[in-house]
Chain A
């Protein structure tokens, strides 16, 4: 990998990678920038020895996601299992800046496949058809997974304040 290839790859992918992270962190600029930076440093370390991967953008997103999930797990203000907060804990305010990270934390605890489908649908704005093609499964299967994933996610997140703090 030459320096030109390295920098060209950076310029081609950086905006997309940043957007990918910003959507998952609820627009948290500092966290998104930190993870973008760390992802490229890891890429340099890996690609220098192994060469450019087939899809640098996909490689970067995978690494960035792992860094983000690792960050969420290590952060004490988020339950590492992504489960409900402890009983008696106060409801977060409606504009809780950590809410996007709490949601992502809960999504990441659903299992790899369901989390990937939910993220593709909600964060990346992909259609059921696009997800089905990417994952090589039927559209019906995607819809089923989405439904089950939403149900699991709902049970893992605290109830919204508008719902009076009670389960349905």
Chain B
């Protein structure tokens, strides 16, 4: 009998792994048991369910893309994405050339020519990423995967390669924003920019740094997973933990900025220079940032317990 009539061992192993994972996810997504009545416990259960929802969605998506006609559609989609990104890169090049001419004529602020160059580089990275996605879809027949525990495809580490590109994109974005922040700092020194605005910009810089740090950690996790130093489950938990810590950092920075603004707002309102409506709006934003902070703390707590 031809070997095509007998299932491949690798296929059977991978399917068994997928079916076991799917079974466990379905168990986790099952109905909440009646004995869980405390709000905190209910919140924890919902959070765990939410954490695993995205994984289930990813598996379902991959499952449907495997059929050959869907594979063709997916390849057509990524090829369109490549063409779109190439067109954007061309447009960014033209904008950069225009910016360089205007800068030479003294019609643009300091550093804007470099910002335009960064845009061209970012557009180039977007092309690289779309080409990578296309190669992955062609090799796997499935939509590109971003999970740290995703296997290599045809011996190629698409997840790692994509992370490197995303990190470069984040670094370029940070460098471009830093040029503008530097200009603001100079203006702040001259008293042309408010302290509030400056604080918000510094918070933004902190968030960008944290995002890059997270990408470095993800790359490290990926290397450890491929080297066999981490199980798929441990890699997933560590990855989510890093993400939750980043969320906590961003939410904390936001809370600090909003609290400062709130203090000033209350003073202005007391002397009749601000309306109660404006204060209320700021208060709502602060409450929302505090909720984000609490959720991130809760998520970290759950993930640490899951280890």
Question: Are B23 and A36 in contact (CB-based, < 8 A)?
Answer: no
* B139 CB–A CB distance under 8 Å: no
Binds A, one of B8-16, B125-133, B171-179: B8-16
A5 to B67, CA, bound (A): 28
- For B, the interface residue count at a CB cutoff of 8 angstroms equals 24
CB proximity of B71 to chain A, nearest CB, Å: 9
Chain B residue at minimal CB-CB distance from A22:
B5
Quick one: given A30-B68, A74-B69, are A18 and B16 in contact (CB under 8 Å)? no
Total of A-B residue pairs, C-beta within 8 Å: 71
Q: Which residues in B have their C-beta under 8 angstroms from that of A18?
A: 6-7
A40 to B63, CA, bound (A): 11
Question: Are A19 and B19 in contact (CB-based, < 8 A)?
Answer: no
Query: Main SS of chain B's interface residues?
Result: helix
Which residues of B (4-35) have their CB < 8 Å from a CB of A? 4-8, 11-12, 15-16, 18-20, 22-24, 26-27
A18 to B8, CA, bound (A): 10
Q: Which residues in B have their C-beta under 8 angstroms from that of A48?
A: 23, 26
Question: Are B63 and A38 in contact (CB-based, < 8 A)?
Answer: yes
Q: Which residues in A have their C-beta under 8 angstroms from that of B57?
A: none
Question: Are B15 and A3 in contact (CB-based, < 8 A)?
Answer: no
A30 to B67, CA, bound (A): 8
CB proximity of B250 to chain A, nearest CB, Å: 36
Question: Are B69 and A44 in contact (CB-based, < 8 A)?
Answer: no
Question: Are B19 and A34 in contact (CB-based, < 8 A)?
Answer: no
Question: Are A34 and B68 in contact (CB-based, < 8 A)?
Answer: yes
CB proximity of A17 to chain B, nearest CB, Å: 9
* A23 CB–B CB distance under 8 Å: yes
Which of B8, B27, B68 meets A31, CB within 8 Å? B68
Binds B, one of A8-16, A87-95, A130-138: A8-16
Question: Are A41 and B63 in contact (CB-based, < 8 A)?
Answer: yes
Chain B residue at minimal CB-CB distance from A9:
B19
| Residue contacts A-B, CB under 8 angstroms, 30 given | A3-B20, A3-B23, A3-B24, A3-B27, A6-B19, A6-B20, A7-B16, A7-B20, A10-B19, A14-B12, A15-B6, A15-B7, A15-B12, A18-B7, A29-B8, A30-B68, A30-B141, A31-B68, A33-B8, A34-B67, A36-B7, A38-B66, A40-B19, A41-B19, A41-B63, A44-B22, A44-B23, A44-B26, A48-B23, A74-B69
Question: Which 6 pairs of residues, A with B, have the shortest CB-CB distance?
Answer: A27-B4, A18-B7, A22-B5, A34-B66, A3-B23, A34-B67
A: residues with CB less than 8 A from B are: 3, 6-7, 10-11, 14-15, 18-19, 22-23, 27-34, 36-38, 40-41, 44-45, 48, 71, 74-75
